[in-house]
Chain A
């Protein structure tokens, strides 16, 4: 089979550009057309972006956007039927699975930054989140400076723990920084008083608090460790044709007001499976981004409206 394919390539190379006129598909688009299927990578617990509901079906804000992209791809390729395959990914598997072609889009809450863009591409930003901390109300930690000399947890290998480390040095806070394996465990550290605060993307903190035993016990800080950073849907690098379709699809969703509707559905209303309500109104920055979609990794390029 492989040899046949190679032979095919050789023939195409030998007989030159006879078909070049009829705009050839390349990369992901060609793959989708050939197989009649597109594979979406989803996260199992990134509430409310991409997670499993009570029927073990992946749902969420990023999933809704991805389904819109699927529709656009189907239209672009003029297919009658496009099968959507779903593949679970974790933070550790998303890059290899994207690189080896298992998934075509990663629909989750992956931060878009310049360093990561060396390895993958991102489409237009679907969310902006700043690094804040959650603590128990009873600990009365009102500002970052109140963390002085205390034990603070963050998830290992995140941009958040890096920002916490930098702030610790810059402001001379003498915080004892403890890394945790994942968000659930980091929150458990605050719940069991192993740490007084947990530094993370504010939206993830909101969902952890909403899902905890007694949401009223916790407070998310006003102070932030960073400017709002963009989340993007990830796709393979160096695939301009596919990125163009995906960018156009997401831009159409955001500018048409559909993006706002989706936002309200996942952030302002009750969401499955437990009927949590995150109650997080859209930020000025994100509103501006929806009006003028952008895939920039630079937090400074996102201004409030």
Chain B
């Protein structure tokens, strides 16, 4: 291997004039975190609504949930982001499309919403599975107590379902963070994007991607630890998910 290693490269000034190469990567890391957090909030909220709809007695609600999930999970994320960013504005009336295209930070919002909706389909399926895994008697008992459907979900079904699906939700959160790397396709300069531009500027490809790998591992280790803590904190002895 004829390669000139230079680990000091991170402290050399980057050609964009924004400090060192390390600063370049860290600015990408911040953008990765922002995108992932916003996407995760969107995924949790919409995913929960759609997941609940799939378990409702109403036929049309469960049909809508079914269609939503199949639409978002059957298309590669890369294609979805491309569609939202390049195709959607062309389908709108010209003025609306132009307004959308000239929004500041368009790649960031498109990536956060696009990844959020993609992940929401997965959250929805898991929540549905969590609710379905509860004994049928739970729902019937809630109805017998005179609770409305909303109350039954709020006080009986959802608190248990969420506890059951907490471990798979952790992996979905990790997947959300990793999926933000796809956003370079619409020009979002997140961690992977900055590692690539560092590589193009300095030609130190292995150093750049080693640093990106370490940073991804670190974020995900933090998330895993935090979710373990949450799991332990919300566990109720005697429940399926408790100890």
Interface locus among A34-42, A111-119, A123-131, A264-272: A111-119
**A158 and B3 contacting across the interface, CB-CB below 8 Å:** no
Q: Determine if B155 is an interface residue (Cβ-Cβ < 8 Å).
A: no
Interface string of B167-194 (1 = CB under 8 A from A): 0000000000000000011110100010
Segment from B62-70, B111-119, B124-132, B202-210 that makes contact with A: B202-210
Do A178 and B1 contact each other (CB < 8 Å), given the known contacts A95-B199, A193-B101?
Answer: no
Question: Which residue of chain B is the closest to A28 with respect to CB atoms?
Answer: B2
**Distance of A119 from chain B, by nearest CB (Å):** 4
- Give chain A interface residues in 72-128, CB to chain B under 8 Å: 91-92, 95-96, 98-101, 115-116, 118-120
Instruction: Return the contact of A101 from the options B1, B89, B98, B203 (Cβ within 8 A).
Output: B1
Most buried by B among A120, A169, A179, A239: A179
Asked if A146 is an interface residue, CB under 8 A from chain B, the answer is: no
Q: How far is the CB of B136 from chain A (nearest CB, A)?
A: 50
List the A side residues contacting B206 at CB < 8 Å: 96
In the complex, 14 of the A-B residue pairs with CB atoms within 8 angstroms, ordered by the A residue number, are A92-B205, A100-B2, A101-B2, A115-B15, A118-B203, A119-B3, A119-B4, A119-B203, A157-B200, A159-B15, A179-B197, A181-B184, A194-B102, A238-B2
Q: Which residues of A contact B (CB under 8 A)?
A: 91-92, 95-96, 98-101, 115-116, 118-120, 151, 153, 156-159, 161-162, 165-166, 169, 176, 178-181, 185, 188, 192-194, 236-239
**Chain B residues engaging chain A, CB cutoff 8 angstroms:** 1-4, 6, 15-17, 86, 89-90, 98, 101-102, 104, 106-107, 184-187, 189, 193, 196-206
Q: Which A-B residue pairs are the 9 nearest by beta carbons?
A: A157-B197, A157-B200, A99-B3, A119-B203, A194-B101, A162-B15, A95-B205, A180-B187, A116-B203
